[in-house]
Amino acid sequence: MLLWGSPRILRVVFILWEVRTMREIVSLQSSNEAKEKEINDVVKGTRKELSGFSQMIESIGDGFKSVVEKLQNLWNDIVWGWTAAAGASKLNSADKKQDPFKPAYEYLADTSLEWIDMPQKELFTHFLEYMQHQQGATGTSRIVENIMMGRKLPSNILSNMRNNVGSDFPGGKNKVTGPTFVKYWYKRFVDNYKQFAHKTVPYEDVLDRAAAKYGQPKEILKTIIGIESHGDVYANKGKKSSYKGLMQVDIRQTKQYGVTDIYDPEQNIMMAMELRKQNSRQLNALKDNIPQLIAKVAPVETMSNAA
């Protein structure tokens, strides 16, 4: 009975085991399907979130790009505004840009510069040449140096300067200082330029040759002649002064320059130009100081003392 029943029992057990195994397989498959579904759902959700994030990034990027563009446009507007303002300022102050020292020059010579047909910086350079003619190259350099350094002038130079001012010097000769002396003579130089620069003279051809040879404007030569002799070729003849003729050159130096007749316009003018040529190196050194010199000579606080 047992032997007969044993195979049947074993078969039932085997069937039960198969059923259980199938259930586990089905359960596992169901579980895997659920997991797969869950994973797919996660993937889909992730993709959706990533898509939304991407859209958000693109939106932020577009917004950032827009902000950058706006900032760039604003900067361009600012730069353009600055440029336009600078251009307008440049146009409005064209005269000052052409000659930044114009106010100082106007101060030095008051309103007498209005009809001068030469840039004022160039005119002032020629004035320094005249200072060399009057005070000598060394004396002029000492005057400029002391003005620049804000020092008092040596007594010997100061005495010589006092001898070179007229009765119209403001406050009298005892009020001579470096700045006031330069200012006084610059005004006289300008006034004589107006009076003599374009005046026709009998020795016009001599001036043409001298101007061409030494590279000097003929108008400046006439200005110096106007100051020194008022165009009189015989100026100081018969007087004790050793300075004679058109340019008031020193008769004691005539042999040195081969001058036989100091009252001859050509010999007198050419001698003066040779002297100037010798001083050219010192003059070039002075030119670099012109802006600072003007500032020292024409400070605002002393405008009430204008000559």
Task: Give 19-62 pLDDT, tens digit per residue.
Answer: 555 555 555 555 556 656 666 665 566 556 556 656 665 666 66
Residue 114 tokens, joined: 């209005």
Q: Is residue 269 part of a domain?
A: yes
- In degrees, rounded to 5, the angle at the alpha carbon of residue 254 between the alpha carbons of residues 200 and 163 is 75
Q: Is residue 290 part of a domain?
A: yes
User: Pairing between strand 243-244 and 249-250?
Assistant: antiparallel
Q: Provide the domain count of the chain.
A: 2
Q: Are 73 and 108 members of one domain?
A: no
Nearest to 245 by CA among 260, 259, 227, 229: 229
Residue 42 tokens, joined: 């996660």
Q: Is residue 209 part of a domain?
A: yes
Sign of CA pseudo-dihedral 90, 92, 98, 104: negative
Q: What is the DSSP letter of 255?
A: G
**End-to-end distance of the chain based on CA atoms, in angstroms?**
156
pLDDT single digits (tens) 127-154: 999 999 999 888 898 898 888 888 888 8
> Which residues are paired to 250 by β-bridges?
243
Q: Are 145 and 184 members of one domain?
A: yes
Q: Are 171 and 230 members of one domain?
A: yes
Final residue of a domain: which of 50, 70, 92? 92
Q: Is residue 97 part of a domain?
A: no
Residue 70 lies in domain: 1-92
Final residue of a domain: which of 92, 112, 134? 92
Q: Is residue 177 part of a domain?
A: yes
Whether the CB-CB separation of 231 and 256 falls below 8 Å is answered with no
From residue 86, how far is each of 98, 217, 220, 278 by CA, in Å? 15, 36, 37, 45
Between 172 and 61, residue with greater pLDDT? 172
pLDDT single digits (tens) 95-126: 445 555 566 666 666 555 667 778 777 888 89
- The Cα 82–Cα 64 span in angstroms is 27
How many residues are given for the chain?
307
Q: Are 147 and 77 members of one domain?
A: no
Q: Are 152 and 278 members of one domain?
A: yes
- The Cα 273–Cα 276 span in angstroms is 5
pLDDT of residue 286: 80
Q: Are 199 and 274 members of one domain?
A: yes
